[in-house]
Structure 1
Amino acid sequence: MQNKASRSKGLWIGIIVVVIAVIAVVLLHNNGKSSGSSSKVQTIKVGSGNDAQPFAYLDKSGKPVGMDIALIQAIDKKLPQYKFKLTLSDFPTLITNLKSGKTTMAMEQIEQNTERKQDFKFGSVGYTVWDTLLATKKSTGVLNSFADAKGKKLYVTNSTNQATLTDAYLKKNANAYSVVRGTYTMEQIAQGINSNQFNVYPAPKYSIDLLNRQFKTNLVYGKAVNHSNAYPMFNKKADPKLVKAVNKAMEELKKDGTIKKLSNKWLKGDYVPKD
């Protein structure tokens, strides 16, 4: 049978054990809370297309698909500190949304030009070659410059770099050629060329290859009138940490061959810049 001193000693040991256990629970709770707050995920609204095959569009079930959509998802996967939320629209609205701050980042084969550099930030890693070529039917002849297009009719998609280039030449050379403007699908562009609605289509090699492959247009082209690549584009006020993180993710995806795989899958060829 324990004496009074032994019982008292045991009681104190029990109290000490309970206190230590309580302190441990409190510390674990606080550490967990601190960890959760430091790893808070930031939602980033990313603009892309809803009807721009094969770059960014909705499939038959309404699911966003395409090369740019897949690349956005690949970047998002590499950046656990961010959660990308898609905002899909036509191209002119994509530009407007980014400029107004409704979105923070945009990807839909966007090229750099002087005007855009004034209004937006660009990523540093290009992912699709967009050198502009002047596509024509063989009967029209091969064009190597906008000067060669004198007296002809060009088609350009609204708000694209090709529209900017076409208008820049016209500004210095009024009435050099006429221009049809719109947001035509590739099928409509093929129809427009075949029906002589217009006879020159300023476009990258990919688009010309697509028209020739899918619609048998047999277009030809000469030298590039402008050298360019597609880049991620950001709102002017975008956090530099976000831009830096996206650049790093893009570098890794280019180095490990992911972007090339996406190009081959969606564009049916390797259109990734070599630099």
Structure 2
Amino acid sequence: MKKSLAYVLTLLSLLVIGLTLTLPVDAASKKKTIVLATDSDTAPFTYKEDDKFKGYDIELAKAIFKDSKDYKLTFETVPFSSILTGIDAGRYQLSANNFNYSEERAEKYLFSDPISKSNYATATKDGVTYDSLDDLSGKSVELYTGSNYAAVLEKWNKEHTDKTPITINYVANSVTLAQRLQNVESGKIDFLFYDAISLKTVIEDQDFDLKVTNIEGSVGGDKDGLEYILFADDAEGKKLQSFVNKRIKALKKDGTMKKLSKKYFGGDYVSSLD
């Protein structure tokens, strides 16, 4: 009797082990959750609508990580000034926020292949045109500290000490692009310096009586107007960069990026990318 009971228990143990080995593995449980930081206030690249993340950068990121076997992508709204420090601290693994290239950023972070190409531009009252950085001498603007746009104008001031400097008023990240454009319209500041796509989008959406003029000539070198996704410059960041770049190539080739560009930008701002 004892032998029969032992035999039955052995069979049951083997059956349980067999079932355990043949049960399907939950693939989702093996995925690494990564956080994409964005300020949700840079339409049409990234914004929120009915509390949902929207925009070209957001939908492109979703397409990049769709059906990924290794990553589960999540989004978090973060003040612009805290995005890079959050990446430094490891709270966020990447950011898509209409980031342009700068040598200072390249010393600390990794860049994806470019995902769109716009132009540096100014927003001014109708009848006023600034189409070069020299035109901005003695004029006033509002910018975020640490932004690429601030860096461009700060550099111009340093390199042109013989001219009247551009007056840069640094504002809190809570001051939206629409609010700053309103300050141009009211005459509080002379112009806004930003990318042409964002300026045109917000001006049209808010019905501001302002005009957008592209800055002529080279402003930041051969990477003028190019937009990138940023990663931490570490082992995980390099792995993510490689994955994202492969997906960018595929999504450009299959027309997804062009489709998203037309949806959010109203035109093709990706086909000219190398």
Which bin holds the TM-score, normalised by the shorter protein? Answer: 0.7 to 0.9
Answer whether contact 1:51 1:90 (CA < 8 A) is retained: no
* Matched residue, 1:112: 101
Q: Return closer, same or farther for 1:99/1:68 CA change in 2, 3 Å cut-off.
A: same
Alignment of 1:1-275 (within 5 A): 29-30=20-21, 40-60=30-50, 62-124=51-113, 126-137=114-125, 139-144=127-132, 146-174=133-161, 175-182=164-171, 183=173, 184-214=175-205, 215-224=208-217, 225-226=219-220, 227-239=224-236, 240-272=238-270, 274-275=272-273
For 1:197-247, what per-residue CA distance to the aligned partner results, in whole angstroms no more than 9, with x for missing partners?
A: 222322222133225533231333441433131111101124232221111
Answer whether contact 1:49 1:89 (CA < 8 A) is retained: yes
Answer whether contact 1:129 1:230 (CA < 8 A) is retained: yes
Provide the rounded CA distance (Å) in 2 between the counterparts of 1:178 and 1:267.
30
Give 1:273 shift.
Answer: 5.4
Answer whether contact 2:126 2:210 (CA < 8 A) is retained: no
Structure 1: give runs of 5+ residues left out of the alignment: 1-14
Give 1:66 shift.
Answer: 2.0
Answer whether contact 1:135 1:219 (CA < 8 A) is retained: yes
Fraction of identical pairs, as percent:
26
Opposite residue 247 of structure 2, the aligned amino acid is A
Moved more, 133-142 or 259-268: 133-142
Structure number with bigger Rg: 1
Opposite residue 36 of structure 2, the aligned amino acid is V
Provide the rounded CA distance (Å) in 2 between the counterparts of 1:152 and 1:187.
20
Opposite residue 257 of structure 2, the aligned amino acid is I
Opposite residue 246 of structure 2, the aligned amino acid is K
Answer whether contact 1:99 1:120 (CA < 8 A) is retained: no
Structure 2: give runs of 5+ residues left out of the alignment: 1-6
Equivalent pairs counted in the alignment come to 254
Answer whether contact 1:138 1:220 (CA < 8 A) is retained: no
Q: Return closer, same or farther for 1:103/1:222 CA change in 2, 3 Å cut-off.
A: closer
Opposite residue 252 of structure 1, the aligned amino acid is A
Give 1:31 shift.
Answer: 6.5
Answer whether contact 1:142 1:222 (CA < 8 A) is retained: yes
Give SS of 2:119's match: coil
Provide the rounded CA distance (Å) in 1 between the counterparts of 2:46 and 2:130.
31
TM-score, normalised to structure 2, is 0.79
Provide the rounded CA distance (Å) in 1 between the counterparts of 2:186 and 2:26.
62
